[in-house]
Amino acid sequence: MSEENEIYKADQSFYDNVPWDKVANNKIEKEEYLRLKAKVKTSYVTFLGPPDSLSFYMFKPLSWGEYKVIREKRLDKDTTHEYIINNCVLYPKMDPIDIGELDAGIMLTLVYQILTVSNFVDNKDSVLNMIYQS
């Protein structure tokens, strides 16, 4: 864990190299990590929050089908963010109450990180404008 908001590819050796004593929230057991990794072809992890209270998140890219649903339903910005979190965050599993209690910066950073690994352009505003356009 070297840089704040850095995205890491969830590979086999990643779990063993994490200093878990520095992670305050959303710690994951190795068996669960390996199960999720085996279930989803490509997954990523990140550590968000202040250095003394880091939270672990594991997520997958947004798929074409999920992107199409957002466009077809013409979801507003907030609902789009929640849809992306609900469909792409693998751990911890999010429900509406959990999402509502997330710090706003954590929510948006997770959304941006998911869009980044989903091969959208780097400019966050451009990415979101592409999704929101009708």
pLDDT in tens, 58-79: 999 999 999 999 889 998 888 9
Entry pTM: 0.84
Distance between CA atoms of 28 and 30, rounded to whole angstroms? 6
CA distance 57 to 6: 11
Contact assessment for residue 62 and residue 126, using Cβ atoms and an 8 Å cutoff: no
Interval 32-49 mean pLDDT: 93
Which range among 3-12, 16-25, 117-126 shows the weakest confidence by mean pLDDT? Answer: 117-126
Collapsed DSSP state (helix, strand, coil) of residue 42 = coil
Amino acid at 102: L
CA-based radius of gyration for the chain: 15
Tokens coding 121: 């352009």
